[in-house]
Every structure is written in structure tokens, then in C-alpha cells.
Structure 1
Amino acid sequence: MRQPADVASRTRRAVLAVPAAAAISALPWHAAGAHDGAHPQGIAAAGKDVLTVVGPWEMTGLDPSRAGYMFARMEVVETLLDVDDRGRLLAGLATAWGASVDGLQWRFTLRGGRRYHDGSALTPASVLACLRRAHARPGVLQLAGIRSMALDANDIVILLHRPFAPLPYLLTHYSTQILAPASFDARGNVVAIVGSGPFRIASMSLPQQFDVERAAGDADGHAGLRVRKARYISVARSETRTLLVRSGQADLAFSLDPPSIRALQRSPKAVLMSAMLPRTTFVKLNAGHPFLADVRVRRAIALCVERDGIARALLRDPGLAATQLFPRSMTAWHDSALPPLRTDPDAARRLLAEAGWHAAADGIRRRNGQRLELSLTTFVDRPELPVIAAALQEEMRQVGIAVRVVIGNSSDIPAGHRSGTLQMGLVARNFGNVPDPVATLLQDFGPDGGDWGAMGWHSADVAGALGRLASTQGDPAGRRADRARVAAVLQAELPVIPVVWYRQVCAASRRIAGADIDPYERSYRISRLTWA
């Protein structure tokens, strides 16, 4: 049994052994949108009364389905419902909700007296128009089997073709955000973001920056201390975000890599916050590819992954080694009885030989004259992914699999899925994207797979279990058994290979008070912040 220190050392050697030109074959580290200076090029420093938030995410458009999450995080827009830190439903623009006995009709009672940022009334008709628009586009509402949506006085009434218990959770998703009629042109395209949240848009400079300001005055005694202006800036490089925090030019910085975290641990300018999120970094496999269709090859890849070493040496957090797909933070889904994923390169070599792949003189395996060579696609939006990809490249080489790492944009993964050209993709999947994971899992592991989930793989067992979980909220024992079945099949057949779980680390300036992390990444909670 290899000791943890040896595993970590081996992983460091694996990363260092990979030449930079071989590891990164598409985009260089200076990806589009990255900047090297103390402040991003072309963006003026904010005033002292402006809270500055930096993260790696660019706004690729105004439509809710594209960049709606950023306007939700900055509290410009609202949804019908919200969730607390434990994933329990809370009122949003709707104050009450419930389903009929047969589960086919849902009723959502809207909060009265609300206005959009342009002063127009937030009417049931305007809410219904936004929901119908969201349903007509690819997105989470497509999962629910919606037959119709209509008004009944102050209620939104949604009729379903079949019972779908997670429907209220879909209405917490940013793609279902409610915008004022003035947000749309005559063709229904979003031309402005006019929401109803605590902050309103003050100015935009897409894709990199937008500014917000308080939409209404505060009524409590903290009004003078509350943050009233804020700015979001997209800064691709983690080290640049760190420089902005250390220089006092950023107040909140998200998605920090381990070197940045170490650099800020003793900073007089900022404190670090962290929270385990329902997110897993895994390798998405094209199980329809001739090399990956054999489950023995997928299991061999899983066996060569040094999860402990990656967690210790690269992330500096040994608790993140993913022993199964669902992290411990997903208490209802993490199965402590499930035999954990392990590292065993010798067993990996035996499985590859059983599958007909035999080592050649160069160490790479061949079968019927074909070389076992695959591409691994990832992206720079999450700074740890390219480094993990380099480690995986070397770990697979050691068992006889040649891997070409391609680093591009996050959109390359779904594009490769849809075109069928993706072979392997290293992604960080957020299972809390909709707070009830059933909705996300239906997207990822349904009959046709999903952009961020299975590719060329289907399981009737998984589909049946997810279908039952989606159709009813009853029978707790049956629901536990279905969740366990999903976890067990995914662990056995490995359409995706878990690598590490995820801890969000954020730097918060010492000039603000009240900062914390939303475990569902719905909001930066800037409306709670005060100046210290």
C-alpha cells in the first residue's frame, strides 16, 4: 500500500514530467480575457465606495440562459423561489406553492406590490411571459414535461404531462429569472437587464464588467454602512485576481487556485473563506468511442488516477480526493457503504491487457495495429483543471495510454458532446446547479446523456431510479434505495470518472463585514455586506 506522502510526491513528479508544450496544446495560459497587470487592462479602478468582485467568468450575452447566473449572483434579478444553505425551498417572487394530489398541477402564488427597476409593476402577466420564454428555450424547464402555463388571478398555474416533484427547484434556476417587459425587443431578444432584485444595473461593458447600485433605500439602522455600489470584473487568471486583492483593488475574489490561497493566507488586506460545494471534478468519457466502449478500459483509467496525490500535491487539501461521484456535502446522495474508488496501476495494466491492449516498445499500448491514444479536453475557467489534466496525462501514460491535453473554453465540452468529437473531457460539475440533484442527474444521465454527463452510455437502472425519484416525494426508504442504486451503477460502469471534490475558496477584503459563501453558488450575497 502506497503511503500518502509517496502518492503526493509521485503526483508532483507526474506534473513536472509533462513538457509544457505537450500538456497545453490549444490555448496558452494567457487565455482570452486574462490580464497580467495589477488591474485588468482597459478597466478603470473603482471608487472607494464601490465593492469590487472578481471571478473568472465572462458574460457571454444578456440572455438568462447564457450569463443569467452572473446577474443572479450580483442580486440584480430574482426567481420565483429561492433555497437556504441546506437546499430547502424559500419564498422568492412566489410566497406560496403546492401541487395537486395527482401531482399534475402546480400553483405558485405571487408576491404583490413589487416593481421592476424601471418602475413598472411586476405583474403576473409579466412573470408568466418570462416563464413561457424560458420553457421555449433549451434549459431546465424542459425536464418537467410542462403541458401549459396560465394565470389564475395572482397565481401561476403549471400543468404537467406527468408528475415531476422537483419542479419548484427548477424555478430557483437562473435561467428562469424574471425580467421586466422593457428587457426585451419586439422579437423577444434580451436587450437590457431590468430585474427586481436589491441591485439594479448601472452600467455594462460586456463581456468583462458590469456595475450595479442599490435599487431602493434601506429601512434599518445599518443603512449608512450597507454596500450601495458594486462592480463585477471578469479576470481569467487566478494570480491576477490575487494581485487585485493584495493591492486592495478587489473586495471579493472567487475561484482561487492553491498558490493564490497560500499567497493570501497571511494577507493584511483580506481573509479567506471556504465551503465544500456539491461539485465534483471528473473525467467525462465518450463511451461510444471504440477505445472507451469497453468498461475494462474505463475502469483501467479510473484505477490509474492518483486522487490522493492530486488532492494533496496540487490542491493542498487531502480531504478532496473523490472516492465516489457524490461528495460528502451531498448528504442524501453520498453512500458511505459504497466501495471507494482506489488507485492501482498494476490492476489497470491487467485490465487493459484483458481488453486486448498490449504495450509496445514505446510503452504505449496497441491493439490490432491501433495506438491507444486519446485527447483530454479541459478549460481555464477553473484554474486547477489544466494542472489536474497534466497530472492525469502522465498517470495514464504510465499504464500505456497516450493522452493529448487540449485546453480551450468551457463551451468546448458541450460542443464536443453534441458533435460526437469529444473523447475525454475534464470538467467540474455542479450538482447543486438545481438544488434538487435529481434534475441535474436527469440532464446528465438520462437516455441521451448530457453535455456535462454521460456520452454514448445509457443505463436502464439509472434511468428508472431517476424517473421514480422525479415522479414522487413519498416512500423515503424507496427513495434512499434509488439514490444508492444510481451511485452504485455509476461507480461500476464509470461513464464519468471522479477525480476530486470541490472546495470553494474566496478572499474577502478586511474593509467589508458579513461575507460568506453560498453553497449553491446562486448569490454573492452583496446585499448583506457592510463596510467595516
Structure 2
Amino acid sequence: MPALVLAAIVLVPASAFSQVPQGSNTRVLGVAAPWEIGSLDPSKAGYVFSRLEVSETLVDVDAQGALAGGLARTWEVSKDQLTWRFKLRPNAKFHDGTPVTAEVALRSLERAKANPGVLGNTPIKRMTAQGDVVVIELSKAFASLPAFLAHTSTQVLALSSFNPDGSVKAVIGSGPYRITSLSPPQKLEVQYFEGYDGAAPAVRRISYLAAGRGETRGMLAESGQVDLVFTHDAAAIARLKQKPGVTFHTLPIPRTIYLKVNAGHPLLKDVNVRRAISLVIDRDGIAGAILREPKAAATQLFPAILAEWSVPALPPLKRDLSQARALLQAAGWQSGADNLLRKDGKPFNLTLRTFSDRPELPPMAAAIQAQLKEVGINLQVSVGNSSEIPAGHQDGTLELALLARNYSLVPDPLGTLLQDFAANGGDWGAMGWSSASVRSSLESLSTQVDPARRSALRGSLATVLQAELPVIPIAWYQHTATSSKRLGNVSIDPMERSYRISQMRWAQ
């Protein structure tokens, strides 16, 4: 975005956020986050509408990360684990005034299953409506089905949301807030839906602004023009903590920053080369200097917050330049007079793609670039749009990418892993690499209910990923946000499913 446009956003007068005296139902809560509204389709940008509590899924997640009722008040499964019944809330209504019925919910679920997304990785055989119950029949047992139905791509919309061809023309959900104004890709306004069947929120109106640059979000928080700001530049954290009108929030979340590797690339298909790259990376330095959180240095793919998936006994990833050089030399790479590696006369040149929506990624990419140069690998860094990473996966041009992957988008990480480590890899996961052992573990986890067996399968999967490095973990994510002192009862969702605005109140 051009600098002049950014300046216009930062210097927008406070009146633009419609702040009026306490107690007025017209008072507007301003929210700023990095994420643009790139689509109305739940499979592409459903998280924006879920976080603002516009749309709902059959299953929700409570404050402790456990599955809870969403549009489905309760659910049950048959003894053979093949038939699930989700009973809907009796008085739920869509924002167009129509009732939420099982028949209408099926339209969204069938669409979610047909489109790219998590439901495509489930053994759903048939879905039907029986009164106020959504019935899902499986071809084989799948214990994680309720968790998959909490993913934002499965959100339920009114029939009036769709064009005749099935495309989404409007997001008409059933949450406490309804959309009143939408100006993609940057701005969205919502207000309380009087027909909502739950408790009325204290905050009645919200204005959402997608601000891609961390500097912009920091200035919006400091100026007080916005009440909630998510994902701050690490360099601004110390300054923001000193601002008297701002409350700073940080907490670890189930997200890992890693290098996505094209393991089919001629320079990267040798596992020892991938191990060498991993050994070159100074995770402690990156965590301390860039993320300002030494505990964020990743020793394996899954952070400790994912207690069931993190494996304490796994040999930790570490930096060892001598070992890295030995592995590269064994792979046939020799250092020349210019200190750059060559093999058969060809230099070791790679391009790493990343994006600035997460402000820590470009400086981390620059640090990795400098570290790889120490052993003779010439890395070019390309900072573009996040969409360039899945596009590069699909067309085969991607070599390396630096990204942050959230393992709680489906409350059970299995939902994300099934996408990332399928036979053909995934847009945000493996590329040019597959493992029969990993696929077998994932398949077994989808049906296994015995805790001991599930633990062994998770350990086996983590061990293979640590050894083969189809993705190279760099850091565990620390979520950051600021809130205005005008707001009370503020809490940050570690699962990143909701901004929890309906639970907040005006403190001033």
C-alpha cells in the first residue's frame, strides 16, 4: 500500500470511528488487524466473520479450548461411531429474519464439503435433516468430526447469502452481530442483531479496519483511535507497554513459524541439505532479538501449549554450523573463493517468499538470509502477498517460504495436519514430500479413541517430521494485542476464533 494512503489511514480523525458518550447504543468499538477481507466465501476468509461474531458454526470452542455448543446445542454419536446427530438451538435466526433450520444448515455444510477445506478430509458419506437435527453419516469412524465442524469454513449462512450458482453474495449469519457496511478489502462495520437468541452484548457497534503494516496498527493503538488492535510489530512492544491509555496483551498460541520447503526441488530434495539448513538457523537469536521472547525459539514443530502433540523426549532442533557444513560437504557442495557453495559448477541459490501481514516475518527472513550466507547459501528474500505462497505451491515455483501456521483453526490439530501432510502435500504444508508413515498415523488418529494409542501415534508422527523436515520450525508464536482503557472484560482468544467482543463492556 502506498505510504500516502497509509498516512491517511493513521491520521483519520477520531470522529471517523463514531465514538460517542458512554451508554449510547451508537458508540462504536474500533478494531484493527492485519487481515484483509479478501472474499465473502467462508472457505477463503470465513475467519474474519467468525472473529467478529457475525457467523456461527455447528460446534464452538469454550475459553479452555474444549468443544462447546454453537448452532448445535448438543450432539451424539451412535455406538458404531458412524452416525452423528447435531441438534440445533431452537430459536436461532439469521440476520434476514429467517430461522436456522437443519435443512438450511445442510446447504452450507454440503457446500463446505465440496469446496477446498477441512470437511473434504472427512469420511462423510451422507448428510440429511431430520426435524431440528443435522444427521451426518460416515463411511468409517471419525472421532474428530465435531472439531472439524468448528472450523470457520463450515460456518452456516442463510439461503439468501448465495447466488443461484452457489457463490456467496452476502454474509448473512446468525451471530450477535450483523453486517451493516462492507468495503473490501479493508473495512467492515457490524451492529448488534436484535433477533439474536443469546444475551445482548454491551458493545452494540463495531468498525473493523484491515491495516497490513505493523507501524500503522501501532499508531492506531497509541492514538486511541482504535480500541482493539491485534498482531503488533515486536519492535513496538516496549513502547506500547509504556502507554498509559493502552493495555498490552500477549500469550502463546498454537501457531508455529516455519520454513515451508519444496522438498522436490533439486537443491532441497536431499534430507541432509534440509537438516543442514535447519542447523544453520539461530532460533535463540531470532526469538530474542526479533520476537523479544526467548522462550519462543522452536525446538520442534508443536509448541508446549499443544501438550498432547509436543514430545518432550524429541531431540531438540539446534544451531551447529560445523555439523551443517559437514552435511553440505557430504552432499557434494563445495565452498569457492567467494565463500559461496557450488556443486557441479552451479551455485546454491534459493528464493524465500514471505509476507508483511505478520510484521515479524520480513525481519526473520532477513536474519535467516544472513545466517545461511555464513555457510555459503545465497538466499534471495521476496516479500509479497500471503497468497503467493499457496500459488507457488500449486504451480511448483515455490522454493522456500516463511509463514506462521495455526494448529487450532480446527480445535483438533489433526484437521490442519490432514491438509498439510496429505499425499500431495498442502498449500501451507509439505511440498514435494510425502510419508506413508505420517499418512498412516494421521489416518489412525482420525479413528482411534484409546488415549495411549493416540499418544503413541502423535509421537511417531512428530518424530518423522523432525527427522525429515518437510517444514523447518523456527519459532513458536506469541500472540499480541492491545486494548483501550475504555474497554472492560477484555480477553484474548488463544485459539484465534473470536475477538470475544460480545463479552466486553465499556469501562469509560
TM-score, structure 1 as length reference: 0.91
CA RMSD of aligned residues (A): 1.9
Report whether the alignment pairs 1:67 with 2:38. no
- Which of 338, 348, 353 matches 1:362? 338
Matched residues in 2 for 1:289 and 1:252: separation? Answer: 42
Asked whether the 8 Å contact 2:248–2:482 carries over to 1, the reply is yes
CA shift, 1:217, in A, is 8.0
The equivalent of 1:177 in structure 2 is 155
Structure 1 counterpart of 2:32: 54
Superposed CA deviations along residues 49-93 of structure 1, whole A, max 9, x for unmatched, are 110000111001111112211011000111101012333110111
- What's 1:338 paired with? 314
Which structure 1 segments of 5+ residues have no match? 1-29
Larger RCO (alpha carbons 8 Å, 6+ apart): 1
Alpha-carbon distance in structure 1 between the residues aligned to 2:271 and 2:232: 35
1:36 aligns with 2:7: yes
Letter in 2 for 1:340: P
Q: How do 1:445-460 and structure 2 match up within 5 A?
A: 445-460=421-436
* Contact kept? 2:176, 2:196, Cα under 8 Å: no
Contact 1:34/1:236 (<8 A) preserved: no
In the alignment, the residues of structure 1 paired with residue 54 and residue 229 of structure 2 have an alpha-carbon distance, to the nearest angstrom, of: 19
Secondary structure, aligned partner of 2:366? helix
Map 1:20-419 → 2, pairs under 5 A = 30=1, 35-37=6-8, 39=10, 45-48=16-19, 49-216=27-194, 226-419=202-395
Please give the alpha-carbon distance, in whole angstroms, between the structure 2 residues aligned to 1:34 and 1:83.
38
Query: CA–CA distance in 1 between the matches of 2:13 and 2:314?
Result: 52
Shift of 1:103: 2.2
1:439 aligned residue (399, 403, 415):
415
Q: Give 3-state SS (helix, strand or coil) of 1:121's partner.
A: coil
C-alpha offsets along residues 195-223 of structure 1, whole Å, 9 cap, x if unaligned?
A: 11011111111111010111128999x97
> Helix, strand or coil: the match of 1:349?
helix
Which amino acid in structure 1 is aligned with residue 413 of structure 2?
P
Cα-to-partner distance string for 1:263-303 (whole Å, 9 max, x where unaligned): 21111221001111000000011110111010110000000
User: Does the 8 Å CA contact 2:93/2:196 hold for their aligned counterparts?
Assistant: no
Residue pair 2:430, 2:471 contacting (<8 A) in 1 also: yes
Q: Which residue in 2 is equivalent to 1:486?
A: 461
Normalised by the size of structure 2, how large is the TM-score? 0.95
Counting matched residue pairs gives 500
Distance between the aligned counterparts of 1:163 and 1:369, measured in 2?
54
The 1:43–1:177 alpha-carbon spacing in structure 2 relative to 1, beyond 3 Å, is: farther
The answer as to whether partners of 2:57 and 2:71 remain within 8 angstroms in 1 is yes
Distance (Å, rounded) in 1 between the aligned partners of 2:292 and 2:150: 33
Q: Corresponding residue for 2:23?
A: none
> Which residue identity is paired with 2:467?
A
CA distance in 1, matches of 2:107, 2:165: 13
Task: State the partner residue of 1:16.
Answer: none
Identity fraction in percent: 49
- Whether contact under 8 Å (2:92, 2:197) holds in the other structure is no
Matched position secondary structure for 1:322:
coil
Unaligned segments of structure 2, at least 5 residues = 20-26
Structure 1 residue 506 and structure 2 residue 481: aligned? yes
- In 2, are the aligned partners of 1:210 and 1:232 still within 8 Å (CA)? yes
- Do the aligned partners of 1:379 and 1:385 also contact (CA within 8 Å) in 2? yes
1:526 corresponds, among 473, 476, 501, to 501
What is the deviation of 1:257?
1.2
